A and B are shown apart, each in its own frame.
Chain A
Amino acid sequence: MTDHLPVLLVVVPLVAAPIAALLNRPRLSWAVAVAATLWALYVALELLSQTMAAGVIHYELGGWAAPYGIEYVVDPVNAWVVVIVALIGALVAPYACASVEREITEDRIPLFYAAFILCLTGLLGIAVTGDVFNVFVFLEISSLSAYALIALGSDRRALTASFQYLIMGSVGATFIVIGIGLMYVMTGTLNMADLADRLPEVSGTRTIPVAFTFLTVGITLKLALFPLHLWLPNAYTYAPSAVTAFIASTATKVGVYLLLRFFFTIFGATFSFDVMQLDRILMPLALIAIVTMSLVAIYQENVKRLLAYSSVAQIGYMVLGISFASVLGLTAGILHLFNHALIKGALFMSMGCVMYRVGSVRLERMHGLGRVMPWTMAAFVVGGLSLIGVPLTVGFISKWYLVQAALEQGMWPVAGVVLLGSLLALMYVWKVVEVAYFHEADPELGISEAPLSLLVPTWVLVLSNLYFGINASDSVGIATRAAEVLLGAL
């Protein structure tokens, strides 16, 4: 049974999704979702410990040997991503129970859980597969269910946000398919390891740079790198709170993983960065994302939208780390992948608590919440400090490695921009803190603290922000190992 873990990671949630839909009882479907996410988390942790101890795990689907059959490959890079996705999934699922009952009509709740599990399946599948066309299939599974999830938002603008995401997401996915097709026509293979072997022979042709370009645009659209982030703010703002918390901490992270996988494992760092000079595009875009999106976030009146713009800025940090193409830079990027999932998960979950009690996350409705919802807002404050990068939080660890990676290459201005980004983050986090703590609450509204079923998952994430901020050796160790694996494949 343990031999089949890589495929069971995907198959169990895939089967759980229709079961959740067929049971058609809100609480039963919810129980299925919780069971599926816990299973995914168990398998993810098992896979991570196996691959850290014994090296890369290969799994041949249906016993068909690679490169003809589809192969699942687990190495420290994707085991880490799988753990992130499964961890957030396992925390959002219990959280969703109360949150979803408040925000979605009862007859749609079972279908919500079905779509939620499918989205999780897709994200896990993208991470675990070793076949590029399989990546596309899982990408569409996760994207299509994400569109449905976002459209479940109670505001009617959720529908247009979802439609916009559908159009842009499908274009991105189609670009990825074009890239994959062009690679296939030159090499005759879809297996990642096999592609990595065969691509250098044909990299001098015109087809491969074109494939590379299509993939770059497609993937950066999926991970919402500035200026291809236009679908993100509306989608995050109007989606149900639990969906925002889940998608914000996982979907873009898996996009970043795809970027790493395609550019380092498949094309190889030499081709991507020396021949195609990808860093000349990624680094400026990342820096612009950090500065402009943080500035835009400062002017937002809706806290979910504020955090959405902040997410685009944070994606800038991850891509910046990757654009250094050094072990330290990649470590910073991969570390921030995990850390940002913890940060944004905690922040969006605390906003879900506000949504539950207040019914809105607009700043003018949040006056004095620090006093009536102390635990919720305390979670926001700790998450916010982590976002800024205050020592003892995970945000600090990411920034520390990022600045080190910049200084290692003598790029002082880049390190300066990273610090400027923190300063801007301080401004937008403060804006929320000021409203929540330094304004009087309206006692007539009778707002009380959010229920425990929302607070517990939120605080698990908040405390892990602190835990991995103080005891970072595990996460840094895995990220360094992952960075070495990616660069070692040269």
Chain B
Amino acid sequence: MTALGLFNYWAVIFLMMVGFYTLIARGNLVKKIIGLNIFQTSVFILYITMGKITGGTAPIFVEGGEDVIYSNPIPHVLILTAIVVGVATSAVGLSLVIRIKEAFGTIEEDEIQDESL
């Protein structure tokens, strides 16, 4: 396969690195959550990409179609679960950010560290 044929995988790697970098480098807690989200989303795309079969149609049973090729539905199902988990993680993370804001008066990591001393 050519590099272009792997376009989705390049997109996955790009998103993953963007998310991971944001997560590590940003001091703002909301931005960290956004980074985490992008990071997780890249994995969703990774799964969905590998479920695609060349020439495959949507995995809904076709009446009388003996030699129809279907895409693999399992990664989609798995990723539905992972999306739910991702939403729950963001919800917990953001509610923690709200409580941190109430307790420390800021959501910047370095200012919180100064406060904690």
Question: How many residues belonging to A are interface residues under a CB distance threshold of 8 Å?
Answer: 26
Q: Could you say which interface size class chain B belongs to?
A: 20 to 34
A178: B residues at CB distance < 8 A: 43, 46
Does chain A have a CB within 8 A of B18? Answer: no
B93 to chain A, nearest CB (A): 5
Q: Mark A161-186, 1 if CB is under 8 A from B, else 0.
A: 01100110011011001100100110
Q: Mark B73-94, 1 if CB is under 8 A from A, else 0.
A: 0110010011001001100110
Other-chain residue from B23, B43, B47, B93 in contact with A163 (beta carbon distance below 8 A): B93
B23 to chain A, nearest CB (A): 7
Contact between chains at B50 and A185 (CB < 8 Å): yes
A148: B residues at CB distance < 8 A: 92
B83 to chain A, nearest CB (A): 12
A175 to chain B, nearest CB (A): 9
A386 to chain B, nearest CB (A): 33
Complex Cα spacing A167 to B94, Å: 11
Which chain B residue shows the least CB distance to A150? B96
Contact between chains at A177 and B32 (CB < 8 Å): no
B75 to chain A, nearest CB (A): 7
Other-chain residue from A133, A144, A159, A181 in contact with B100 (beta carbon distance below 8 A): A159
A160 and B116 contact, Cβ closer than 8 Å, known pairs A140-B88, A185-B50: yes
Contact between chains at B103 and A156 (CB < 8 Å): yes
Complex Cα spacing A151 to B94, Å: 13
A171: B residues at CB distance < 8 A: 20, 23, 36, 39
A414: B residues at CB distance < 8 A: none
B92: A residues at CB distance < 8 A: 144, 147-148, 166
A177: B residues at CB distance < 8 A: 43, 82
Contact between chains at B81 and A160 (CB < 8 Å): no
Does chain A have a CB within 8 A of B104? Answer: yes
Contact between chains at A159 and B103 (CB < 8 Å): yes
Does chain B have a CB within 8 A of A157? Answer: yes
Does chain B have a CB within 8 A of A137? Answer: yes
Does chain A have a CB within 8 A of B112? Answer: yes
Q: Mark A132-155, 1 if CB is under 8 A from B, else 0.
A: 010011001000100110010000
Which chain A residue shows the least CB distance to B101? A159
Within 8 A of A (CB), among B34-78: 36, 39-40, 43, 46-47, 50, 74-75, 78
Does chain A have a CB within 8 A of B97? Answer: yes
Contact between chains at B96 and A140 (CB < 8 Å): no
Contact between chains at B40 and A170 (CB < 8 Å): yes
A237 to chain B, nearest CB (A): 12
Does chain A have a CB within 8 A of B29? Answer: yes
Which chain B residue shows the least CB distance to A162? B96
Which chain B residue shows the least CB distance to A180? B78
Contact between chains at B89 and A144 (CB < 8 Å): yes
Complex Cα spacing A163 to B32, Å: 10
Complex Cα spacing A389 to B70, Å: 60
B80 to chain A, nearest CB (A): 11
Contact between chains at A159 and B99 (CB < 8 Å): yes
Contact between chains at B112 and A181 (CB < 8 Å): no
Complex Cα spacing A184 to B40, Å: 18
Contact between chains at A163 and B75 (CB < 8 Å): no
Q: Mark A288-332, 1 if CB is under 8 A from B, else 0.
A: 000000000000000000000000000000000000000000000
Other-chain residue from A147, A160, A166, A185 in contact with B112 (beta carbon distance below 8 A): A160
Contact between chains at B96 and A166 (CB < 8 Å): yes
Contact between chains at A167 and B47 (CB < 8 Å): no
Contact between chains at B82 and A151 (CB < 8 Å): no
B93: A residues at CB distance < 8 A: 163, 166-167, 170
Other-chain residue from A137, A160, A181 in contact with B50 (beta carbon distance below 8 A): A181
Of the A-B pairs whose beta carbons lie under 8 Å apart in the complex, a sample of 23, sorted by A's number, is: A137-B81, A137-B85, A140-B85, A144-B89, A144-B92, A147-B96, A156-B103, A156-B104, A159-B100, A159-B103, A160-B104, A163-B93, A166-B89, A167-B93, A170-B36, A170-B40, A171-B20, A171-B23, A174-B40, A178-B43, A181-B50, A184-B50, A185-B50
Chain A contact residues, CB within 8 Å of chain B: 133, 136-137, 140, 144, 147-148, 151, 156-157, 159-160, 162-163, 166-167, 170-171, 173-174, 177-178, 181, 184-185, 190
Which 10 residue pairs across A and B have the least CB separation, nearest first? A156-B103, A185-B50, A140-B85, A159-B100, A163-B96, A159-B99, A170-B89, A166-B93, A181-B47, A147-B92
Known: A136-B85, A144-B85, A184-B50. 12 other contacts (CB 8 A): A140-B85, A147-B92, A159-B96, A159-B100, A163-B97, A167-B36, A170-B93, A174-B39, A174-B40, A181-B43, A181-B75, A184-B75
